[in-house]
Amino acid sequence: MYSMKYIAYISILIWSILSGCATHRLGRSGQQKVADQVWVVTGSSSGLGRGIALEAGRYRAKVALAARNTAELEKVAAEIRAAGGEAIVVTTDISDSLALKALAEKTIAAWGHIDVWVNNAGVTVLGNFWETPIAEHSRVMDVNIKGTFYGSYYAMQQFRRQGHGKLINIASAESRLPTAYQSSYAATKAGVKNMGIVLRQELRLAGMKNIKVVSVDPWALNTPIWDHAANHTGHAPRMGLMDNTSKAVNAVMHAAAGGRNRDMAVGWKTHAAYAVHWLMPRFSHRVSSNIVYRHQMKLAPPAADTQGNLFTPSAHPAVTTDIKERMKAEKKAYKRGKRARSSR
């Protein structure tokens, strides 16, 4: 008889192979499902949110763009309209519940209903828990979990009125596999995941089968979050083994076009990490934090403390960043310095 661990190892292999299925671009039938849908995307001025909004626009969706940076939202809206979609700009501080209510109202005023609401807006602060200012921890909580909570609340009010809708909350692999130096971020993403589980159960018990809730768990992505993060580590923000942002964008498109009503791990790295965590939770926590320690505290060059984009909009918004190239250059510099020190 096969042992449970043997079955688990086989499952990891199969899981990792199949996990790429939702990270490719939507086919024609999926694109047709997204066409003419009404979307709300928070945090759509930069990073993953910008990528999601632009991709939905390419499929001719109607997209309400929400973030603090009005000028960047206007640029995203122009790209969506040029691609054949429709867009409205709603300048929004996600941590303000009344602003989220106004976002829902303006979207409904423009198009009459909401099909897909994506709670994507997020910020982070890097540093030891006890060395990070409490105001910065609080700001991460205000945006990542309270903002998602508020957005989910107003989305659910509208979905219940119209009898259908899909809520997509961007969680993270850190929701299940937290790592060192991101305590408040990991706490908020675990909260996002658990809120989604509760919402699905409440909808099931209420018999609301046409309202879906999907939590999407990306791996670390090459978005500008690493350039915009608040940071108190003494070193430049970075992460190892990053995925391309397009994987998470495509996963959200599949979630919107399909009938999913569950958590959705993105890519083979997240699937494999979750499987290892299931088998050896303490080991997985140690290994993942050791990897982060090496990349963040040993290989990264010195950097001054910063509040990043916690309290002001991002300075240089984009879907992706050149962080992979920066990390390669930093690694070469680290090795040159190490050789120079050893030759003395």
Q: Which residues carry out catalysis?
A: 185
Cα–Cα nearest to 147, from 216, 98, 80, 217: 98
Contact (Cβ atoms closer than 8 angstroms) between residue 26 and residue 68: no
- CB atoms near residue 211 (< 10 Å): 22
Helix or strand or coil: residue 91? Answer: strand
Sign of the C-alpha dihedral computed for residues 101, 107, 110 and 115 taken in this order: negative
List, in sequence order, the alpha helices (H) in the chain. 4-18, 28-34, 47-58, 70-82, 97-111, 134-141, 147-162, 183-205, 225-228, 245-257, 267-279, 281-293, 323-342
d(CA 284, CA 131): 25
Which tokens belong to 10?
A: 């086989």
Alpha carbons 246 and 51: distance in angstroms, whole number: 7
Distance from C-alpha of 10 to C-alpha of 128, rounded to nearest angstrom: 37
Residue 298, class by beta-carbon neighbours within 10 Å (0-12 exposed, 13-18 middle, 19+ buried)? Answer: exposed
| CA distances in angstroms from 221 to 44, 307, 319, listed in the order given | 16, 20, 10
Residues 6 or more apart from 338 whose CB is under 8 A from it? none
Instruction: Give the alpha-carbon dihedral of 16, 276, 188, 241, to 10 degrees.
Output: -60
Neighbouring CB atoms inside 10 A of 119's CB total 30
62: amino acid identity, one letter: K
Contact residues for 171 (Cβ-Cβ < 8 A; gap 6+)? 189, 192, 193, 196, 215, 216, 217, 263
